[in-house]
Structure 1
Amino acid sequence: MKAVHPVPTTASPVDGRSARWESHREQRRRTLIKAARRAVHRLGADASMEDIAAAAGTSKSVFYRYFGDKAGLQKAVGEVVIAQLQGAIVAAGRTARGPREGLVNMVHAYLTTAQTSPNVYIFVTSATDDIPGPPTVELGGFFDALVTLIATPLRRYLLEDGAVEEDAPLLGYWPVAALGLIRSVGEHWLRAAPSPENPDAAAMAEQVAAWLFDGLPTGTAPLSTHHERK
């Protein structure tokens, strides 16, 4: 029987123009995200698409073309914020010498990173364009990732202290509850008017850790502030 040899196939040629267009489009998108972030930082979290576009030196139709609507732009800017926050928090946790210090370091990293531009942080966590109030939209998977990050030091602390058993359901609930406290306190702290009476990021991180690890003491003393510690 005569051998049948397979017919060699060739890969479909890559459309060079399409690849260049996609690369150009992605570069343009990144440029618009950076411009939007700078505009929000300067103009405020309630900046309109028209304001953002004007600050970027283009038209709002360009932003609509790349992001669909303001929510799409918020999500795109939020992805950049997520990456920075996660990087800072992971690095902070690695330098800790114990569970409590790990939590303090991570909360401090969260606060200081968000504090670099409260306007941008609020912009990417705002629920809608028009309804005022505290942020309610999750930054993608960031807060889920933060639960995992803070679960490690809390789990170690609770197990070492003998407060719970290895398979206790509370080990799963406590990090979620802790995150609610961290996020609520952090966002309230970001919105607080500048004042010598307000704690700085370091004092706030220590206080949050005290609430989580120690609970509320019977004779709660006022928060120490950077101003008072000098």
Structure 2
Amino acid sequence: MNSTGLRPAPPEPDGRSRRWRAHRTARRVELVRLARRAVHRLGPEASMDEIAAAAGTSKSVFYRYFGDKAGLQQAVAERVLGRLQQELHEAAASAQSPLDGVHGMVRAYLGLAAASPNVYAFVTGGPTAGAHIHHFFSAVSTLMSEPMRRHLEGRRTAEDASPVLAFWSTAAIGLVRNAGEQWLATPDGPDKPDLEDFADLLTGWLLDGVMSPPGTRPSPTPPSTVEATSPTPKEHR
């Protein structure tokens, strides 16, 4: 305690400590970048020895910064998934309509996975992928529910649908992720749609159901049209 009765402030770290921390941070970022490049080329099952050799360093350097392969996998996942989450936010913010927002998110997810299927498999598979992947997809579910909620506003079903919207967004993520992974694993050929067509197809399934015409993105239906085409109580019977 000093004369004012307050504890003295802790001493400021010296310049050497700050520079060392900055160096370690920069080195860690660089190693993550090199590891992503190595996995992209070698595949998701690449060993730490192979990753280190491709990065031009030793395995002990990676262990020093990440602990083990699981630690490296999580560091790469945080980088890749952080980028994807940013792209999902941008897709939602730049969309001209709520439905375009859903389509933009689907396209961003598929696009990032297709850019490097090996890196995608590296960060979403394996025993260490559980915690950070679950947290990420929970955040994506929340993002996807917002454009759907706005799409439902003004419709007769909006009030009834709102409490169960969380089920839709969770199901949407499951559909996009599982269908996307099967699409990535499908060899190129006439029966495999390209990225744009597949994003349109999944968006149609999410919003109109599996019977929506392939290759066509659903368009907003004005509330007045919903009112005009909604069945009367007699038709329900």
Q: TM-score, normalised by structure 2?
A: 0.80
Q: Structure 2: which amino acid aligns with 1:184?
A: N
Cα displacement string for residues 83-113 of structure 1 (whole angstroms, at most 9, x for unaligned residues): 2111222212222222222111111111112
2:115 maps to 116
1:210 maps to 204
2:176 maps to 182
Name the SS of the counterpart of 1:197 in structure 2: coil
RMSD value, Cα: 2.5
Partners of 1:53 and 1:20 in 2: how far apart? 25
Contact map agreement 1:125 1:138 (CA 8 A) in 2? no
Contact map agreement 2:35 2:51 (CA 8 A) in 1? yes
Alpha carbons of 1:87 and 1:168: their partners in 2 closer, same or farther (altered >3 Å)? Answer: closer
Partners of 1:13 and 1:149 in 2: how far apart? 41
Structure showing the higher helix proportion among its residues: 2
**Following TM superposition, by how much is the alpha carbon of 1:21 offset from its aligned partner in structure 2, in angstroms?**
1.8
Contact map agreement 1:100 1:153 (CA 8 A) in 2? yes
Partners of 1:103 and 1:203 in 2: how far apart? 15
2:103 maps to 104
In the alignment, does 2:170 pair up with 1:171? no
Q: Structure 1: which amino acid aligns with 2:175?
A: L
**Following TM superposition, by how much is the alpha carbon of 1:142 offset from its aligned partner in structure 2, in angstroms?**
2.2
1:89 maps to 88
Name the SS of the counterpart of 2:159 in structure 1: coil
**Following TM superposition, by how much is the alpha carbon of 1:18 offset from its aligned partner in structure 2, in angstroms?**
2.3
In the alignment, does 2:197 pair up with 1:198? no
Q: Structure 1: which amino acid aligns with 2:125?
A: S
Picking from 148, 152, 175, the partner of 2:146 is 152
1:59 maps to 58
Name the SS of the counterpart of 2:169 in structure 1: helix
1:132 maps to none
How many residue pairs get aligned? The number is 213
Name the SS of the counterpart of 2:133 in structure 1: coil
**Structure 1 residues 73-84: aligned runs within 5 Å:** 73-84=72-83
Cα displacement string for residues 1-43 of structure 1 (whole angstroms, at most 9, x for unaligned residues): xxxx648957524233322222221111111111101100111
Contact map agreement 1:103 1:153 (CA 8 A) in 2? yes
Identity %: 47
Alpha carbons of 1:224 and 1:11: their partners in 2 closer, same or farther (altered >3 Å)? Answer: closer
Partners of 1:128 and 1:168 in 2: how far apart? 35
Contact map agreement 2:149 2:162 (CA 8 A) in 1? no
Name the SS of the counterpart of 1:213 in structure 2: helix
Q: Structure 1: which amino acid aligns with 2:20?
A: W
Alpha carbons of 1:94 and 1:10: their partners in 2 closer, same or farther (altered >3 Å)? Answer: closer
2:225 maps to none
User: After alignment, is 162-171 or 187-196 more displaced?
Assistant: 162-171
**Following TM superposition, by how much is the alpha carbon of 1:140 offset from its aligned partner in structure 2, in angstroms?**
6.2
Partners of 1:188 and 1:160 in 2: how far apart? 36
Alpha carbons of 1:7 and 1:138: their partners in 2 closer, same or farther (altered >3 Å)? Answer: closer
Partners of 2:131 and 2:126 in 1: how far apart? 5
**Following TM superposition, by how much is the alpha carbon of 1:159 offset from its aligned partner in structure 2, in angstroms?**
3.6
Contact map agreement 1:92 1:102 (CA 8 A) in 2? yes
1:23 maps to 22
Query: What runs of 5+ residues in structure 1 fail to find an aligned partner?
Result: 130-134, 226-230
Alpha carbons of 1:165 and 1:42: their partners in 2 closer, same or farther (altered >3 Å)? Answer: same
